[in-house]
Structures are given as C-alpha cells and as structure tokens.
Amino acid sequence: MTEDSVRRSREAQVESWIAEAKKLLEDGQETRALDLYRHAADDLPGAPWLQHRTAELSRKLKQRDVAIIYYRRAATAFQIAEFSKRAVAPLRTAWTLAVDGLPGSSKVLVELAGDLIHLQRRLGYAADATVSFERTNAALRSRGFSELGSHLLSTAVREPRGSGPASVRDAASASADEMAPPGSGLKSAESTDGARRPRFGRG
C-alpha cells in the first residue's frame, strides 16, 4: 500500500469511529462513545476539534486525568494549525481540572501553568499571564508546594512554530527544579506524582 492509501484508510477508520460514537451518544452510551472518540483522537492527533470533543466527553464522565490529556492535545493541535488563540480555552480548562486534582496533580499543574502563561504572553495577553501565574502560585501554596519561578513572566517569548508546548514544558520543568530551596520544608510539585492540519470538524 502507498502512503496516500494508508492515510485514506486511516481517515476512513476515524470517520467510522466518530459516526459510531455519535450513535452511541444518542443512545445514552457515553462511556462506550468515549472509547471510540479516544481511538479516533489517538489516531489523528493533529485534529484539534476531535481532541477537544474527546476531552469534553471525558470531563463530563468525570475522568479528569483523561480529560487533561486531550485538552492539552487540543491546545497543541490548535497551535500547530496556527490557531493559537483557540488553544487558550482548552489549556485553561485543563489547568482548572489540575487545580481541582491537587495535591496529586501538582506536577501536571506546573506543566500546564507554564504552557498557559507562555501562550498568553506570546499572544500579547500579559495581564492574563500574570493572573494565571498568581492563581497557580496561590493553589500550590495552599497545598504546601513551593511557587513557580518569576522568570516565567520575565523571560523572552519566542515564536515556536509548532513546537511551543514542548518548549514551554521544558521551562516548566526547569521552574519546578528551582521551586523548593534547600531546607524550606516545601514540596516540589515536580516530585509528588507517583502533525498535520486538522481535517475533521467538531464531531
């Protein structure tokens, strides 16, 4: 089989999964529908609306960790497709879920905060980035974790061209390493947790 025929076959399979998932949703079988949406989203990571739909259904079914994964993937796919403004909402929702999951979600909260702050600053939303920074630190502090480094608000912002989320995660990891000074008695959030353009729409 040629590469093009493999691609068409994969897309046909994804369309079939989505169609079946919609029927299951109409019948009230949301858990089975989510399984199919996850298969489809995993097969087409570059389709942001598919990632977002999977995240929304996961959140509805109270599968918080799964929802966070797909909200992050949606944000990444939007940025790769050069719709960066649309990446803010899924990242913010994932951030909220991570705050709700503290203390167990401390590591992912640090990563999400880094991604969100970086994106907001890159889009020129400096005030929003500051609010995200302050709210993240308040959440971490309330659970006994040390705070994000202030360099997240002061470092130069580069246009990532498709690799933004990864570069932000590097920065977030670096900030986590610096978060707890020796003898502070504070826990580091980093240590507590045991593409193509989109073809598919809002299915």
Number of compact structural domains in the chain: 2
**Can you tell me the distance from the alpha carbon of 187 to that of 106, in angstroms, rounded to the nearest whole number?**
10
Say if residue 120 is in the same domain as residue 182.
Answer: yes
8 A C-beta contact, residue 153 and residue 121: yes
Query: 157 with 92: CB under 8 angstroms?
Result: no
Could you tell me the CATH number of the domain that includes residue 28? 1.25.40.10
Of 94, 113, 147, the position where a domain reaches its end is 94
Give the global pTM. 0.77
Burial of 102 (0-12, 13-18, 19+ CB in 10 A): middle
Is 52 inside any structural domain? yes
* pLDDT tens column, 39-77: 999 999 999 999 999 999 999 999 999 999 999 999 999
Domain that includes residue 105, residue range: 101-193
Write out pLDDT tens, residues 93-152: 999 999 999 999 999 999 999 999 999 999 999 999 999 999 999 999 999 999 999 999
Are 112 and 179 part of one and the same domain? yes
